[in-house]
A = this chain, B = another copy of it.
Amino acid sequence: MRKVVYDVAVTVDGFISHEDGSVDGFLMQGEHVADYAERLKGYGAVVMGRKTYEWGYPFGLVPGKRAYPHMAHYIFSKTLRFGEGAEVEVVGGDEIAVLQRLKEGEGPDIYLCGGGAFAGFLLEHDLVDRLVLKVNPIVFGHGIRLFGDSTRKVELALLSATSYANGVSLLRYDVKRAGAA
Protein backbone atom coordinates (compact mmCIF):
# COMPACT_ATOMS: atom_id res chain seq x y z
CA MET A 1 0.00 0.00 0.00
CA ARG A 2 1.39 3.39 -0.97
CA LYS A 3 1.71 5.82 1.92
CA VAL A 4 0.28 9.34 1.86
CA VAL A 5 3.06 11.54 3.27
CA TYR A 6 2.31 15.05 4.50
CA ASP A 7 5.71 16.69 3.98
CA VAL A 8 5.32 20.27 5.14
CA ALA A 9 6.98 23.25 6.79
CA VAL A 10 5.40 24.30 10.06
CA THR A 11 6.02 26.81 12.84
CA VAL A 12 6.61 25.68 16.41
CA ASP A 13 3.05 26.80 17.14
CA GLY A 14 1.55 24.67 14.38
CA PHE A 15 0.98 26.99 11.42
CA ILE A 16 1.89 26.15 7.82
CA SER A 17 1.37 29.68 6.46
CA HIS A 18 -0.12 33.06 7.21
CA GLU A 19 -3.87 33.46 6.58
CA ASP A 20 -3.25 34.58 2.98
CA GLY A 21 -1.04 31.59 2.20
CA SER A 22 2.19 33.58 2.37
CA VAL A 23 5.09 31.95 4.14
CA ASP A 24 7.55 34.72 4.94
CA GLY A 25 9.42 33.74 8.05
CA PHE A 26 10.05 30.19 6.88
CA LEU A 27 13.67 29.45 6.01
CA MET A 28 14.00 28.85 2.28
CA GLN A 29 17.70 28.10 2.16
CA GLY A 30 19.92 25.57 3.78
CA GLU A 31 20.55 21.88 3.98
CA HIS A 32 16.94 21.13 4.84
CA VAL A 33 15.93 22.35 1.37
CA ALA A 34 18.38 19.97 -0.30
CA ASP A 35 17.04 17.10 1.81
CA TYR A 36 13.49 18.04 0.88
CA ALA A 37 14.44 18.03 -2.82
CA GLU A 38 15.94 14.59 -2.30
CA ARG A 39 12.74 13.32 -0.64
CA LEU A 40 10.64 14.67 -3.51
CA LYS A 41 12.41 12.26 -5.85
CA GLY A 42 10.94 9.42 -3.83
CA TYR A 43 7.29 10.40 -4.33
CA GLY A 44 5.45 9.04 -7.36
CA ALA A 45 2.32 11.15 -7.15
CA VAL A 46 1.22 14.38 -5.53
CA VAL A 47 -2.21 15.28 -4.16
CA MET A 48 -3.22 18.80 -3.20
CA GLY A 49 -6.11 21.17 -2.89
CA ARG A 50 -6.89 23.83 -5.46
CA LYS A 51 -5.47 26.75 -3.49
CA THR A 52 -2.17 24.99 -3.02
CA TYR A 53 -1.92 24.29 -6.74
CA GLU A 54 -2.83 27.87 -7.67
CA TRP A 55 -0.33 29.11 -5.11
CA GLY A 56 2.33 28.08 -7.65
CA TYR A 57 1.06 30.40 -10.41
CA PRO A 58 2.90 33.56 -9.27
CA PHE A 59 6.06 31.46 -9.14
CA GLY A 60 5.75 30.46 -12.79
CA LEU A 61 3.57 27.36 -12.67
CA VAL A 62 1.52 27.17 -15.88
CA PRO A 63 -2.12 26.20 -15.20
CA GLY A 64 -2.61 22.54 -16.12
CA LYS A 65 1.11 21.74 -15.97
CA ARG A 66 2.88 19.65 -13.36
CA ALA A 67 4.57 21.39 -10.47
CA TYR A 68 6.80 18.33 -9.98
CA PRO A 69 7.54 16.83 -13.41
CA HIS A 70 8.13 13.26 -12.25
CA MET A 71 4.92 12.93 -10.22
CA ALA A 72 1.36 12.23 -11.31
CA HIS A 73 -0.74 15.21 -10.16
CA TYR A 74 -4.18 15.05 -8.57
CA ILE A 75 -5.72 18.41 -7.79
CA PHE A 76 -8.80 18.18 -5.58
CA SER A 77 -11.30 20.84 -6.58
CA LYS A 78 -14.97 21.03 -7.49
CA THR A 79 -14.47 24.12 -9.64
CA LEU A 80 -11.12 23.84 -11.42
CA ARG A 81 -11.17 22.95 -15.15
CA PHE A 82 -8.29 22.55 -17.59
CA GLY A 83 -8.49 22.07 -21.36
CA GLU A 84 -6.93 19.49 -23.66
CA GLY A 85 -3.38 18.54 -22.94
CA ALA A 86 -3.51 19.16 -19.21
CA GLU A 87 -0.87 17.21 -17.35
CA VAL A 88 -2.79 17.14 -14.10
CA GLU A 89 -5.96 15.35 -13.12
CA VAL A 90 -8.65 17.36 -11.40
CA VAL A 91 -10.62 15.33 -8.86
CA GLY A 92 -14.03 16.96 -8.47
CA GLY A 93 -15.87 14.30 -6.49
CA ASP A 94 -15.55 10.87 -4.83
CA GLU A 95 -12.39 12.23 -3.22
CA ILE A 96 -12.08 9.44 -0.67
CA ALA A 97 -12.55 6.66 -3.22
CA VAL A 98 -10.04 8.26 -5.56
CA LEU A 99 -7.47 8.53 -2.78
CA GLN A 100 -8.07 4.96 -1.68
CA ARG A 101 -7.64 3.66 -5.23
CA LEU A 102 -4.46 5.71 -5.54
CA LYS A 103 -3.10 4.21 -2.31
CA GLU A 104 -3.94 0.71 -3.44
CA GLY A 105 -2.26 1.21 -6.82
CA GLU A 106 1.34 0.58 -7.74
CA GLY A 107 4.12 3.10 -7.31
CA PRO A 108 6.15 5.09 -4.84
CA ASP A 109 4.59 6.99 -1.97
CA ILE A 110 2.15 9.85 -2.45
CA TYR A 111 3.12 13.41 -1.55
CA LEU A 112 0.40 15.31 0.27
CA CYS A 113 1.40 18.84 -0.66
CA GLY A 114 -1.33 20.63 1.29
CA GLY A 115 -2.97 22.85 2.13
CA GLY A 116 -4.16 22.66 5.68
CA ALA A 117 -7.85 22.26 4.86
CA PHE A 118 -7.18 19.41 2.44
CA ALA A 119 -4.77 17.72 4.85
CA GLY A 120 -7.39 17.98 7.60
CA PHE A 121 -10.00 16.45 5.31
CA LEU A 122 -7.70 13.50 4.60
CA LEU A 123 -6.75 13.14 8.28
CA GLU A 124 -10.42 12.92 9.22
CA HIS A 125 -10.82 10.07 6.73
CA ASP A 126 -7.76 8.15 7.99
CA LEU A 127 -5.93 8.81 4.76
CA VAL A 128 -2.73 10.36 6.09
CA ASP A 129 -0.03 7.79 6.82
CA ARG A 130 3.04 9.83 7.62
CA LEU A 131 4.05 13.35 8.67
CA VAL A 132 7.37 14.90 7.71
CA LEU A 133 7.47 18.20 9.57
CA LYS A 134 10.08 20.82 8.79
CA VAL A 135 9.71 22.69 12.07
CA ASN A 136 10.90 26.23 11.45
CA PRO A 137 12.32 28.34 14.30
CA ILE A 138 9.46 30.81 14.40
CA VAL A 139 6.15 31.51 16.12
CA PHE A 140 3.49 32.89 13.75
CA GLY A 141 0.73 33.40 16.32
CA HIS A 142 -1.95 33.00 13.67
CA GLY A 143 -2.46 31.66 10.16
CA ILE A 144 -3.43 28.41 8.47
CA ARG A 145 -3.09 25.47 10.84
CA LEU A 146 -1.32 22.20 10.07
CA PHE A 147 -4.65 20.46 9.56
CA GLY A 148 -6.82 23.51 8.88
CA ASP A 149 -10.01 23.49 10.91
CA SER A 150 -9.89 19.75 11.55
CA THR A 151 -10.39 18.85 15.21
CA ARG A 152 -9.33 15.23 14.79
CA LYS A 153 -7.06 13.87 17.53
CA VAL A 154 -4.51 11.29 16.36
CA GLU A 155 -1.56 9.62 17.98
CA LEU A 156 1.77 9.48 16.19
CA ALA A 157 4.87 7.33 16.32
CA LEU A 158 8.14 9.22 16.00
CA LEU A 159 10.38 7.80 13.27
CA SER A 160 13.25 10.26 13.52
CA ALA A 161 14.17 13.71 14.79
CA THR A 162 17.07 15.65 13.35
CA SER A 163 18.03 19.27 13.11
CA TYR A 164 19.93 21.56 10.76
CA ALA A 165 22.45 24.29 11.42
CA ASN A 166 19.95 26.96 10.39
CA GLY A 167 17.53 25.99 13.16
CA VAL A 168 15.06 23.87 11.22
CA SER A 169 14.17 20.54 12.88
CA LEU A 170 12.92 17.62 10.87
CA LEU A 171 10.41 15.45 12.73
CA ARG A 172 9.09 12.33 10.99
CA TYR A 173 6.08 10.43 12.31
CA ASP A 174 3.79 7.60 11.32
CA VAL A 175 0.11 8.20 12.03
CA LYS A 176 -1.25 5.51 14.34
CA ARG A 177 -4.46 4.00 13.11
CA ALA A 178 -7.38 3.90 15.54
CA GLY A 179 -7.67 0.31 16.69
CA ALA A 180 -4.25 -0.66 15.36
CA ALA A 181 -1.92 -2.45 17.73
Contacts and interface: CB of A to CB of B under 8 A. Distances in A.
B173 A12 contact: yes
Contact of A156 (B10, B123, B139, B152): B139
Contact of A147 (B123, B131, B139, B158): B139
Contacts of A167: 156-158, 173
Given A14-B13, A161-B161, A169-B161, A156 B142 contact: no
Interface string A1-34: 0000000001111110000000001000000000
A73 interface: no
A138 B154 contact: yes
A99 interface: no
B14 A15 contact: yes
Nearest to A155: B138
Contact of A12 (B14, B151, B160, B162): B14
A133 interface: yes
A152 B13 CA distance: 11
Q: Which 10 A-B pairs have the closest CB atoms?
A: A14-B14, A161-B163, A158-B167, A137-B156, A141-B151, A13-B14, A161-B169, A142-B151, A13-B146, A139-B154
